[in-house]
A and B are shown apart, each in its own frame.
Chain A
Amino acid sequence: MTGAARPPRLALSGLDKRYGARRALAAVTLELAAGTIHGVLGENGAGKSTLVRIVAGALRPDTGSVAIDGTPLPLGAPRAARAAGVGVVFQHFALIGALSVAENLSLGRPETHSTRAWLTSPARLAAAASSLAERHGLAIGDPGARVDTLPVGTRARLEILRALSGPVKVLLLDEPTAVLTPVETAELFTTLRGLRDRGVLVVLITHKLAEALDVCDRVSVMRGGALVTTVATRDLSPATLAHLMIGDAGAPASGALATIAGTASAATAPTATSTRAAARALDAATPTRVAALIVHALSTPGAPGRTALHDVALAVEAGEICGVAGVDGNGQDELVAALYGLIPRGGVARVAGVVVPAGDVLAAQRAGVALIPGDRRREGLAPGLSLWENALLSRPLLARVAPHGVLDVGAARRAAAEIATRYRIVHARLDQPIADLSGGNQQRVVVGRALAALPRLLVAVNPTRGLDIAATAQVQATLTGVAGAGAAVLLISTDLDELRTLCARLFVLYRGRLHGPVAPDDRARLAALMAGLAA
């Protein structure tokens, strides 16, 4: 055996990357052996994604080097990285929506002599796709289907399958389970273990502690762009790991809870005392036990790619967080769009007693509805605009800082700065493009903007998807605070744990119909409703 002399499968040395003033990676050095599953944990903005992109060749570090089996990798060259055996599953899927499943898989496949044929055909691509899927035991459905028509779980499998299509030595997965169901996650882990046993180095980027402890042999913890420690998982308890991730100096999750709870109720309440006063004032204005949202016979038309809603009835009381559970694609998007006036609907919706006309976003906003959309990158933010512009990108907020249609830039920046401070948005400058912020901080902007309008009804869709522990705690505490201050919160989430933690009542959407209410701890009934087994 030459084991002692063998170079590590993946060696990172002195990787450094700056974005302006922000140091995304600080002298990261790490050596990983073949045939292991290695977890990289850290909060949002800790540098995990930056690390992945550098190894994948999608990003060039300022200094440092990457080597595979002792051979240095040319930096910033995705093709060279692929050729060297790096497979990547990106956090935001790098699939091409307009192409079919088989076409996407074919793109990822390096050309070998047997596949170098110039001509191809849908049938040939489909056969290749199916055999690849079979080899790895991942179901992909119809290989001819356009990718943008597929549910997100299938896309995740597709992405993984594509990364596996070449001769993979190192497989990097950036938050692959963020959009998967527990069953899909378990299947994925089985696949990863199989790859490890075949000698592949699997690097799993995650912030889910349980997952890391479940599947990883060792984990590295990152904080603020630097590598904090690398430990074997068998020596770790979840508590220790959480402690390592959040650190002592950074604001711990419990602190975030204390600071953030209740802040959402008033626009000018920097101290806890005045926040509570504002909350009481709101309480007085809206007596408790009043239905803030009443929906009756709500329906939406069906369309390609849309689930029709049928006869949805729902009442949410002021001060309540009401949850809507369900597997993605059962009408969640449509319910939100109908309530917020984004699509036409039938039926009646009242917010605090006022009838909200259908298909009119402005009227919904005036009635006091605010939205935290599920896909912050697509529906929540304008990636090309700056932080302060995004923070105010809502009609009621813009009306405040542009009284006669002319933007008062000074006032706007002050208002944005206030949101940034209140929601602890880590940023370098108010002028910096929102796309430069980490996912957690982007979500803080979306949340802060929704709440700055002082909604009577807050509709939140998967508000903590893809967020780390601290950001999740902060967002959840914010929701609790909003409800505590007298607003109604409709929480639409695919994360059952989150719904159970926050909600007193749950409804379940299944194929466009709303079932319930269900007690959050009635797991059997919830599961039956979500699977469409009970009415």
Chain B
Amino acid sequence: MTADLIALLTTTIALATPLLLAALGELIGERAGILNIGVEGLMLTGAFAGMLGSYATGSPTLGMLAACATALLLGVLFALWVVTLDVDQVVAGVAINLLAVGTTGVLYRAFFGNTGSALTVAAFAPLAIAPGVALLAPLRQPAPVYAALALVPLVWVFLFRTRLGLRLRAAGEAPHAAESVGVNVVAMRFGAVLAGALLAGAAGGYLSLAYSNTFVEGMSAGRGFIALAIVVFGRWQPLGVLAGSLLFGAASAAQFQLQAAGVAVPYHLLLMLPYVLTLVVLAIASRAARGPAALAQRRSLCATAD
């Protein structure tokens, strides 16, 4: 029983981390008023680029850098669309997702053929914390897990205890008002999108370089969309996002545990668990949730004075 719980906790943390990274990134973007539903595509791109980087260099760290850099490039494209050109954010996000699915699929087959055999690369190893103690197994996680956890207070301090964070939030609440008092809304939003893309890329890199050591087509598997839901569930707060990530991580972990325990339920139903949870939680949480006032609004179409 204890062993089951320890395993559950270990898997929960492992599965919560990519959600946490992606959701923190999305949180920064949304606080600036940009809804990036392309986070799924950014994650997938990060996973692919991370694998490729590790494959080419043999270093998971360099692979992770490749994951972040590639997602950042895609983030620049998204920011050019939605911030500079003021394109509809949902349309641009869908475009990013489609682009990511297509490109990673084509490139993967181009590089590694259509063999179907698993390709493995060098990945992050779990840290050897208290190796002999079975109870502390959940702490033995790869380094990116700790980096992700450390980001929670850092993002909070950035958003709520720095002048830059204040300006970023102002850009997300009332861009015209912010502009009129000298906030560079375009710069704030551009930066926020890039930060979000970077973290989504890291989430993807985690999938192919820490959670596993390989890339599978479509391996983000809807986690980007769950991250979007987590931001709402977490009421646009870093701590809330952490709680949401752990909840969804636990749901996914429980699903594996139940499968492994041979529960007499078709495994398809178990696989649905995190996604059903998304629906339920969103239905409940979104009732009271109030996001940034200018979220997903195009600047040119915001109500103006006079």
Interface residues of A (CB under 8 A from B): 49-50, 53, 56, 58, 78-79, 82-83, 88, 90-92, 94-99, 103, 106-108, 110-111, 117-121, 162, 377, 383-384, 435, 438
Q: What's the minimum C-beta distance from A20 to chain B, rounded to whole angstroms?
A: 14
Quick one: given A106-B163, A121-B161, are A50 and B182 in contact (CB under 8 Å)?
no
Q: What's the minimum C-beta distance from A384 to chain B, rounded to whole angstroms?
A: 8
Q: What's the minimum C-beta distance from A257 to chain B, rounded to whole angstroms?
A: 28
Q: What's the minimum C-beta distance from A207 to chain B, rounded to whole angstroms?
A: 15
* A56 lies within 8 A of B180 (CB): yes
Instruction: Give Cα A103 to B170, complex, Å.
Output: 9
Instruction: Annotate B191-221 by CB proximity to A: 1 below 8 A, 0 otherwise.
Output: 0000000000000000000000000000000
In-complex Cβ contact of B163 among A90, A92, A118 (8 A)? A118
**Residues of chain A lying within 8 A (CB to CB) of residue B161:** 119-121
**Residues of chain B lying within 8 A (CB to CB) of residue A97:** 173-174, 293
Quick one: given A78-B182, A435-B303, are A96 and B162 in contact (CB under 8 Å)?
no
* A98 lies within 8 A of B181 (CB): no
The 4 lowest CB-CB distance pairs between A and B, nearest first, are A94-B177, A108-B181, A96-B174, A49-B306
Q: What's the minimum C-beta distance from B301 to chain A, rounded to whole angstroms?
A: 8
* B166 lies within 8 A of A79 (CB): no
Most central of A90, A94, A121 by chain B CB within 10 Å: A94
Q: What's the minimum C-beta distance from A445 to chain B, rounded to whole angstroms?
A: 16
Q: What's the minimum C-beta distance from B300 to chain A, rounded to whole angstroms?
A: 12
Instruction: Give Cα A99 to B170, complex, Å.
Output: 8
Q: Please, could you name 17 A-B residue pairs with CB atoms under 8 Å apart, sorted by A?
A: A49-B306, A50-B306, A58-B176, A58-B305, A78-B180, A88-B180, A90-B180, A91-B305, A94-B181, A94-B305, A96-B170, A98-B169, A98-B173, A103-B170, A118-B163, A162-B181, A435-B304
* A108 lies within 8 A of B306 (CB): no
**Residues of chain A lying within 8 A (CB to CB) of residue B184:** 79
Instruction: Give Cα A459 to B189, complex, Å.
Output: 43
Q: What's the minimum C-beta distance from A185 to chain B, rounded to whole angstroms?
A: 22
* B179 lies within 8 A of A78 (CB): yes
Interface residues of B (CB under 8 A from A): 157, 161-164, 166-167, 169-170, 173-174, 176-184, 292-293, 301, 303-306
**Residues of chain A lying within 8 A (CB to CB) of residue B180:** 56, 58, 78, 88, 90, 94
Instruction: Give Cα A130 to B164, complex, Å.
Output: 21
Instruction: Give Cα A502 to B99, complex, Å.
Output: 65
In-complex Cβ contact of A120 among B166, B174, B293 (8 A)? B166
Main secondary structure of the interface of B (DSSP, over half): helix
In-complex Cβ contact of A49 among B293, B301, B305 (8 A)? B305
Instruction: Give Cα A90 to B179, complex, Å.
Output: 13
Quick one: given A383-B303, A435-B303, are A82 and B182 in contact (CB under 8 Å)?
yes
* A94 lies within 8 A of B163 (CB): no
Instruction: Give Cα A88 to B305, complex, Å.
Output: 13
**Residues of chain A lying within 8 A (CB to CB) of residue B304:** 435
In-complex Cβ contact of B166 among A56, A107, A117 (8 A)? A107
**Residues of chain A lying within 8 A (CB to CB) of residue B174:** 94, 96-97
Instruction: Give Cα A121 to B174, complex, Å.
Output: 21
Instruction: Give Cα A319 to B163, complex, Å.
Output: 58
* A92 lies within 8 A of B305 (CB): yes
In-complex Cβ contact of B182 among A108, A117, A384, A435 (8 A)? A108
In-complex Cβ contact of A107 among B162, B183, B293, B301 (8 A)? B183
**Residues of chain B lying within 8 A (CB to CB) of residue A103:** 166, 170
**Residues of chain B lying within 8 A (CB to CB) of residue A106:** 163, 166
Most central of B167, B173, B181 by chain A CB within 10 Å: B181
Q: What's the minimum C-beta distance from A127 to chain B, rounded to whole angstroms?
A: 15
Q: What's the minimum C-beta distance from B21 to chain A, rounded to whole angstroms?
A: 24
* B163 lies within 8 A of A111 (CB): yes
Instruction: Give Cα A117 to B303, complex, Å.
Output: 33
Instruction: Give Cα A377 to B292, complex, Å.
Output: 20
Task: Considering the complex, give the chain B residue whose CB is closest to the CB of A166.
Answer: B182
* B162 lies within 8 A of A79 (CB): no
Instruction: Give Cα A107 to B177, complex, Å.
Output: 10
**Residues of chain A lying within 8 A (CB to CB) of residue B179:** 58, 78
Q: What's the minimum C-beta distance from A240 to chain B, rounded to whole angstroms?
A: 28
**Residues of chain B lying within 8 A (CB to CB) of residue A435:** 303-304
* B167 lies within 8 A of A118 (CB): no
Q: What's the minimum C-beta distance from A181 to chain B, rounded to whole angstroms?
A: 23
Q: What's the minimum C-beta distance from A504 to chain B, rounded to whole angstroms?
A: 37
**Residues of chain B lying within 8 A (CB to CB) of residue A120:** 161-163, 166
Quick one: given A53-B306, A98-B293, A118-B163, are A107 and B173 in contact (CB under 8 Å)?
no
**Residues of chain A lying within 8 A (CB to CB) of residue B157:** 119
Q: What's the minimum C-beta distance from A276 to chain B, rounded to whole angstroms?
A: 39
* B305 lies within 8 A of A96 (CB): no
**Residues of chain A lying within 8 A (CB to CB) of residue B169:** 98-99
Instruction: Give Cα A438 to B305, complex, Å.
Output: 10
**Residues of chain A lying within 8 A (CB to CB) of residue B177:** 94-96
**Residues of chain B lying within 8 A (CB to CB) of residue A119:** 157, 161-162
* B166 lies within 8 A of A118 (CB): no
Task: Considering the complex, give the chain A residue whose CB is closest to the CB of B157.
Answer: A119
Q: What's the minimum C-beta distance from A378 to chain B, rounded to whole angstroms?
A: 10
* B181 lies within 8 A of A82 (CB): yes
Apart from the given pairs A79-B182, A91-B305, 10 other A-B contacts in the complex at a CB distance below 8 Å: A78-B180, A78-B182, A82-B181, A94-B174, A99-B173, A107-B166, A108-B182, A117-B163, A384-B301, A438-B306
**Residues of chain A lying within 8 A (CB to CB) of residue B293:** 97-98
Instruction: Give Cα A99 to B303, complex, Å.
Output: 19
Quick one: given A79-B182, A108-B181, are A118 and B305 in contact (CB under 8 Å)?
no
Instruction: Give Cα A49 to B305, complex, Å.
Output: 9
**Residues of chain B lying within 8 A (CB to CB) of residue A121:** 161
Most central of A83, A96, A103, A108 by chain B CB within 10 Å: A96
Most central of B174, B182, B293, B301 by chain A CB within 10 Å: B182
Instruction: Give Cα A103 to B178, complex, Å.
Output: 12
**Residues of chain B lying within 8 A (CB to CB) of residue A49:** 305-306
**Residues of chain B lying within 8 A (CB to CB) of residue A82:** 181-182
**Residues of chain A lying within 8 A (CB to CB) of residue B167:** 107
Quick one: given A53-B305, A98-B292, A383-B303, are A110 and B176 in contact (CB under 8 Å)?
no
In-complex Cβ contact of B178 among A56, A96, A383 (8 A)? A96
**Residues of chain B lying within 8 A (CB to CB) of residue A98:** 169, 173, 292-293
* A90 lies within 8 A of B182 (CB): no
Most central of B173, B174, B179, B293 by chain A CB within 10 Å: B174
Task: Considering the complex, give the chain B residue whose CB is closest to the CB of A162.
Answer: B181
Instruction: Give Cα A95 to B180, complex, Å.
Output: 10
Q: What's the minimum C-beta distance from B177 to chain A, rounded to whole angstroms?
A: 4
Instruction: Give Cα A58 to B293, complex, Å.
Output: 20
Task: Considering the complex, give the chain A residue whose CB is closest to the CB of B305.
Answer: A92
Q: What's the minimum C-beta distance from B236 to chain A, rounded to whole angstroms?
A: 10
Q: What's the minimum C-beta distance from A84 to chain B, rounded to whole angstroms?
A: 11
Task: Considering the complex, give the chain A residue whose CB is closest to the CB of B164.
Answer: A118
**Residues of chain A lying within 8 A (CB to CB) of residue B173:** 96-99
**Residues of chain B lying within 8 A (CB to CB) of residue A99:** 166, 169-170, 173
Instruction: Give Cα A119 to B177, complex, Å.
Output: 23
**Residues of chain A lying within 8 A (CB to CB) of residue B301:** 384
* A107 lies within 8 A of B178 (CB): yes
Most central of A49, A103, A107, A118 by chain B CB within 10 Å: A107
**Residues of chain B lying within 8 A (CB to CB) of residue A95:** 177
Task: Considering the complex, give the chain A residue whose CB is closest to the CB of B302.
Answer: A383
In-complex Cβ contact of A118 among B162, B181, B292 (8 A)? B162
Instruction: Give Cα A485 to B157, complex, Å.
Output: 63
